[in-house]
Amino acid sequence: MLAVGEGETERAFLQFLKSLYNKRDDGISIKVNYAGGGDPECVIDHAVKSLISLDKKKQPPYTPVHRKQHLIKTLSKNVDFSQDD
């Protein structure tokens, strides 16, 4: 699992949450990172780059548009966007 915050404060908060909920023997690996400031687009770009670098199989080079599409596809795999009325 990858958690990315905008700056150092968000990284510290994510590290705190990780320390509360992620135990060493639960089999889940959580990587906490931060984008070094900037706007939300910078955070998304940084998250996509991090996901690609964590991916075990070789990936083709991505443009910024491809990175965002890859992130959206990765994040939406287990999300049900249908609305129950």
pLDDT at residue 16, rounded to an integer: 94
Q: Taking a C-beta distance cutoff of 8 angstroms, is the pair 33, 50 a contact? A: yes
Q: Taking a C-beta distance cutoff of 8 angstroms, is the pair 35, 67 a contact? A: no
Kind and range of the H or E run holding 32: strand 31-34
pTM listed for this prediction: 0.57
How far is Cα 23 from Cα 29, in angstroms, rounded to an integer?
A: 9
pLDDT at residue 9, rounded to an integer: 92
Average pLDDT score, the chain: 78
| Structure token pair of residue 15 | 């590290």
